[in-house]
Each structure stands twice: as structure tokens, then as C-alpha cells.
Chains A and B, each alone.
Chain A
Amino acid sequence: MVTDDQELWGRVLEGDGEAFGELFQRHAPAVFGYCLRRTGEWAVAEDLVSVVFLETWRKRTDVVTQGSVLPWLYSVALGVTRNHRRAQHRYRAALTRVPAPFPHTDHADEVTQQVDAERRTKDVIRELSRLPRRDREVVEMCAWSGLTQSEIAQALGIPLGTVKSRLARAQRTLRGVLAAERS
């Protein structure tokens, strides 16, 4: 039987670490993809996933969730990626307890994949850096999270209308940039 986020979160609020581990298993890949696309660095993104969940645990009593916890996780991930160097400092002790990975049989392939992914994400980060920060964050959340616009509004703590207006403005800007580069 699949337990929904709400039930798991209820157990998390009671201090159930295993339930939190289940939420990690369920949502870490999505949070990792978001962090990687935001930072362009594979190793950093892996660490930030742990930081996002540690921070979520720390603030668990301040969170009121309805349905999926993903909007809240993306909200935390946004804050963490904004401040990732400082956040890593805070959680350095915890991160050092993450065990080293087991040897991987296709190590060369994995490294190649990681390098390619970093190159692609850095290209995108460079393009998006032309946008004002607040517009950029809406575009990124929209493109990378799979959340609805209402959920994005919840994650970013802004009204739905602001999500729509920032998205429209950013799309106009990006179209202009891309058109200029093609010409």
C-alpha cells in the first residue's frame, strides 16, 4: 500500500525519522534535479538535497502541508540553493557523516554523464541569469519542478497572479534573447 505524503508528514511531526526517510526516498530525485539545474554542479546538488531535507526536518513544526510536501520541499530548496555555500557550512558536520559511495562498475560512464549534465545545466544557468532574480526563480520552478502554478505560488510565497505575470514577462525576455542569438 502506498502511503500518501500527508500521512507520512503526520508521522514526521511526531518525530518519526523512518517516515521522513520514506519522504526522502520519494522526493529526493526531484529535489536533486532542481538543485542540479540551479547550481550546475553535481556534487553540490547531492549535498544540497541532504541540506534541504535537514532544513525541512528542522522547520517541520512550522509547516502546514496539504497533500504533497513537494511544494514545501521546493520552497526550501530555493532558499537553500540561494545560500548554498553558507548552508553547507551550517550542515557540514552532518554532511561528513554521509558514507562514501560504493565502487561503481561503470564509473567512467557515470562521470561522463555527470560532466555532460553539468555542462548543459551551466549553459542554461548562463541564459537564465539575464532575467531578474524573482522572474528567474518563477521560470525555473515552472520548468523544473512539475508543480502547478498554484503550487508554485505556494512554494514561492507569492500570489498566483504574481506567478503568472512574472512568468509572462520572463518568457517575453527569453524569447527576445533566444531570437537575438539565432539571428
Chain B
Amino acid sequence: MDQITPDVPTMNPTRLQARRHALVAEVVGKTETPMRRKFALRFALPAVAVVTAVAAAVVLLIPEPSAYASWTAEPQSTSPAIAASSVEDCRARIAEMPTASQFTMPTDGVLTEQRGEITTVVLASKDSFGVCLRTPHQTLTGIGDTVDLGADSMQVVALPGMRSGNEPARVFLARVSPVVSTARIDTTDGRHVTATVNQGWCVAWWPSGADASRITLNDQAGNLIESIDQPTVAPVPAPTTSR
């Protein structure tokens, strides 16, 4: 290891102090209007702890309790007709989002799943994603920048949702390698949620504010590809100038 550990001088103490003061000034200046609050004000979200893990306008309203009660840990497949109408509906709702113009519109329906009464749709383009959770009475929508998968098995794109409130819920959205066939999410409150995987995307949601504690990825033969503890959102590329 010594051969790959070149000695490097320490940071100049003066520059270290200058950067410390600049950092503190920067973060203190931002404390009064954190990004979460901007989202909350802009979209009049319910006064609950909204988790926005990406620089994206992920808007999640609270589904009605009856829809939550029908939740299943195992997703059901959707009929082609429902899938097609859900994708169309999602495209339209994403386009109506106030912040949609800040992103490349995600148009390809890459994934549809059903858990009880709630249908989830993931749209994607090269640079962006859109997600809709459709209940019988309302649709929850989100749009944001995607991340590069690179050589990894999985990169988490977003972990939005509500940690607290009357009806907490968390959503897990990730890009996965083509070799990934199934994904299971263990949550910190003891749930084992089977995610839906299709076209290099992976999605799941669960009706609690618990974090994902472990993701287990398997290939088509059931072989373990990777098990990832405490997944976090991958760094999001900076906005491009074309937006």
C-alpha cells in the first residue's frame, strides 16, 4: 500500500480557515430557506417531513387511507390496457407540473406496477425520469434528473416520500444493470418489499416513513449480484445549459 500512498502536504491553514468561513456563511445563508421548504411552499404540500433526496421536483401528496390499506409487498403486474392508459396519464400529469420545463421531458414508459389500488408508472429519457403513483382518486407525480449507472449494478435515483405525518410513505427509484432481474428492499421497520424491475429501472414504495436498510439484487437465475446496505442517492449531474 505504501507504493500507492504518495505523501501530500496538508492544506494551507490560512486557506483552510478562509474556506471554513465561506462554508459557514454559505450554509447559514441557506438555512432559512432550505430546498425542502421551497418545495413545500411552492406546491402547498402537507405540513409533514417531506424527503427530497434529489435536485428534483418530486411532489408527493398523501394518498387516501383506503388506498394505503390495499398495499402489498409483492407487486402485481398490470394489464396492457391499464399500463398503456397509466403511462399516457402519467405523461400528461408530468407535463402539467409547474417545474416540468426545467427538465427534459421523460417520455418512455419503462415500468408499470400495481400494489393494491395504486398503480406506479416510471417514465424515462436519457437525462430525466418521471414517476407517478396513481390512486383511484388522485395521482402523485415527480420529475427529476437521472444519474449515470456506469459500471455499477445499481444507482439510486430518488428516495422521496414522507417520513412522518398521518400517512407516511416512501418511494424507492433506481437505475439497475440489465443483468438485474429481481430486487428486494428491506426496510428499517422490518418490511421486505419486492421491487419491480424493468428496462434498467427499479421501483417500489411502502406505506411507512422507514428507510431502506438493504437492497438485494439477483439475476434471472436467482444468483446474488450484490447486496447494498443503507442505499443513498447517487450524486445528481448539474443542470445543463439547454434547460
Q: A20-B27, A29-B16, A53-B23 are in contact. Are A61 and B51 (CB under 8 A)?
A: yes
Distance between A50 CB and nearest chain B CB, rounded to angstroms: 6
The answer to whether B235 touches A54 (Cβ under 8 A) is no
Q: Which of B7-15, B63-71, B134-142 contacts A (4 or more CB under 8 A)?
A: B7-15
A79-B234, A86-B237, A104-B12 known; A50 vs B22 contact (CB < 8 Å): yes
The listed residue (A15, A20, A99) touching B18 by CB distance below 8 A is A99
A112-145 residues with Cβ-Cβ distance < 8 A to B are 113-114, 117, 120-121, 123-124, 127-128, 132-134, 139-140, 142-144
Closest chain-B Cβ to A142's Cβ sits at a distance in Å of: 7
* Chain A residues whose C-beta falls within 8 Å of the C-beta of B3 in the assembled complex: 124, 127, 178
How far does the Cβ of A115 sit from chain B's closest Cβ, in whole Å? 11
Does B4 lie within 8 Å of A128, measured CB to CB?
yes
Please give, as numbers and ranges, the residues of chain A lying within 8 Å of B116 by CB-CB distance. none
Cβ-neighbour of A157 out of B21, B27, B211, B232 (below 8 A): B232
Known: A28-B11, A61-B51, A101-B14. A143 touches B5 (CB 8 A): yes
Taking a contact as CB atoms under 8 Å apart, the answer to whether A86 and B5 are in contact is no
Docked CA distance A94–B24 (Å): 11
Distance in angstroms between the alpha carbons of A15 and B36 in the assembled complex? 13
Q: What separation, in Å, do the CA atoms of A158 and B217 have in the docked complex?
A: 12
Our pick among B10, B22, B230 for the contact of A154 (Cβ within 8 Å) is B230
Question: How far is B12's CA from A144's CA once the two chains are assembled, in angstroms?
Answer: 19
A58 to B26, CA, bound (A): 11
- Interface contact A90-B238, CB-CB below 8 Å: yes
Q: A7-39 CB contact bits vs B (8 Å, 1 = yes)?
A: 000000001011011001100110011001100
User: Which residues from chain B contact A174 at a C-beta distance below 8 Å?
Assistant: 4
The answer for the CA separation of A48 and B51 in the assembled complex, in Å, is 26
Residue of chain B at shortest CB distance from A75 = B232
CA distance A87 to B235 in the complex (A): 8
Nearest A residue to B154 via CB reads A157
Closest chain B residue, CB of each to CB of A80: B235
Q: Told that A28-B20, A110-B12 touch, could you supply 20 new A-B pairs with CB distance under 8 A? A: A17-B25, A20-B23, A24-B20, A29-B10, A37-B5, A58-B35, A59-B53, A61-B51, A62-B53, A99-B22, A104-B12, A124-B5, A124-B6, A134-B152, A153-B229, A157-B230, A157-B232, A158-B229, A159-B229, A174-B4
